[in-house]
Chain A
């Protein structure tokens, strides 16, 4: 069993585009100050940023939890939102349900979920339509993918 070294939760406000990304920036600073390897840090913050943007774009609110152990870094993201009816379709690169407003922000080109998966060693997405979506992503500390 890996020893848990840090666990911190952040509240994500849905539809607040001005603040979108602030939590991921904060996570970057926390992990950098802890001396986490640059490649691992990069993968974690990309997953965090894409996840945070998804909550901001689609959900009413969400919680992003950062968990650091001596072996890995995990992100758990749970939102209260519309949910995803077809997860397999949503995971396909290029598929998007984004609005014009989201695209004007530079997001919603159907790459967010696949970016998250690509940068994770373990990735799991569960969703219930009308309730919300949960994402779990894990990045190993010694992986250099």
Chain B
């Protein structure tokens, strides 16, 4: 599934990387704990988190995920978005809660990483 399809499915707003939505996503890693993301992400996943500080993008960069999706409509600071753009990591935000997001994506065939 492409990031563009995920965007439509979850009614996301794109905060960074509008030009990179063609990227294909097959796996997802979801947590508010950054070490949890680092422990399980194998690279190229969609990272779902409620943590919107600079460390979320730093973790995304270190873990090598393909994109970041913020849940519960949480808006990061401008400097966080600027940092994501600098690292070329697409950032999306949806009003949905993490449980619903994961359920919807799972039903569409996406898998978690363990």
Contact = CB atoms under 8 A, between A and B. Distances in A.
Given A25-B62, A111-B33, A106 B53 contact: yes
Interface in A83-120: 104-107, 109, 111-112, 114-115, 118
Nearest to B39: A115
Main secondary structure of the interface of A (DSSP, over half): helix
A111 B38 CA distance: 9
A109 B36 contact: yes
Contacts of B38: 46, 49-50, 111, 115
B113 to A, nearest CB: 13
B58 interface: yes
Given A25-B61, A49-B58, A42 B35 contact: no
B15 interface: no
B33 A46 contact: no
Nearest to A118: B39
Nearest to A96: B35
Contacts, number: 62
Interface residues of B, number: 20
A21 interface: yes
Contacts of B49: 106
Interface residues of A, number: 23
A49 B58 CA distance: 9
A8 interface: no
Contacts of B56: 106
A111 B62 contact: no
Contacts of A114: 39
Nearest to A42: B64
A25 B49 CA distance: 20
B64 A112 contact: no
Interface string A29-63: 00000000010001001100110000000000000
Interface in A101-141: 104-107, 109, 111-112, 114-115, 118
A118 B56 CA distance: 21
B26 interface: no
B93 interface: no
A107 B35 contact: yes
B43 interface: yes
B63 interface: yes
Interface in B54-95: 54-56, 58-59, 61-64
- For the complex of A and B, the 10 pairs showing the least CB-CB separation, nearest first, are A111-B35, A106-B34, A21-B58, A109-B33, A106-B51, A49-B62, A45-B62, A106-B55, A115-B39, A46-B38
